[in-house]
Amino acid sequence: MLVIRDRIKKYSNEDIEKFKAISTSTIGHFTDFGFLSNYNCNIPINNVFGEVVTVKLSNGDGYPLNTALEQAKEGDILVIDTSGNKTHACWGEFRARKAEEIGLSAVIVGGAVTDIVYLKESSVPVFYESVSPKTTRVLKLEGEINTPVSVGGVVFESGDYVIANQDGIYKVNHLSYKKLLDATIEKEKKEELRRA
């Protein structure tokens, strides 16, 4: 059975504009929590940002991704929990083409991708752990959309906000982000003065 929950809005447009002014390496001066580590990225990028849409897969079944892509909006970041399956790639050329059409900001895959030659030419950044020729299939077994998932040791929920770049991936902590945001913006300003 496929479980689909409604999207959640956690952050104001004003907060989101402030998030766009900071980078992961600056955030890393203030906290150790919320970072994914050891993820590859298919293309060189500066900062990407977006609200999270979560997808949870099971048993090598990629079908829930089709529904998630139907619901995703321009600027979203798709976070895919493969339930520990690191051998069956759930993301490849044709899903990447769909992501380009939608205008996703990025995709984070807690597992493998395929069609890496195409992904390296894609305009949508994909963060992934490994590459595999084995792929998920349309089995229509079970899955979840917009439910809590765990990817890279971090729990993601619908409406979470992600900042990512070549240095890493950070999920904003909804419980303590205001102080962190103020401190990070202040540090970014000081660093600009040092560069000048």
CATH number at residue 170: 3.50.30.40
Q: Look at residue 151 and tell me if it is in a domain.
A: yes
pLDDT band at 53 (very low <50, low <70, confident <90, very high): very high
- How are beta strands 168-171 and 161-165 bridged, if at all? antiparallel
The answer as to whether 195 is a domain residue is: no
Whether residue 164 lies inside any domain: the answer is: yes
Is a pLDDT exceeding 90 seen at residue 81? yes
Give the confidence band of 50 by pLDDT, cuts at 50, 70, 90: very high
Residues 125-130 have a mean pLDDT of 97
In a domain, 132, yes or no: yes
85 lies in which domain range?
Answer: 2-190
Residue 92: pLDDT band with limits 50, 70, 90: very high
What tens digit of pLDDT does each residue of 95-123 get?
999 999 999 999 999 999 999 999 999 99
Number of domains present in the structure of the chain: 1
> 191: pLDDT confidence band, cut at 50, 70 and 90?
confident
Contacts of 74 (CB under 8 A, 6+ apart): 102, 103, 104
Rounded-to-10 torsion of CA 94, 72, 51, 166: 10
Contacts of 196 (CB under 8 A, 6+ apart): none
State the pLDDT at residue 40: 95
Within a domain: 146:
yes
Residue 88: pLDDT band with limits 50, 70, 90: very high
- What's the average model confidence in pLDDT over 162-191? 91
- Residue 77 pLDDT exceeds 90: yes
pLDDT at 96: 98
Contact between 173 and 184 (Cβ < 8 Å): no
What pLDDT is recorded for position 165?
Answer: 93
CA distances from 69 to 47, 78, 109, 132, 188 (A): 22, 9, 14, 22, 35
Is residue 196 assigned to a domain? no
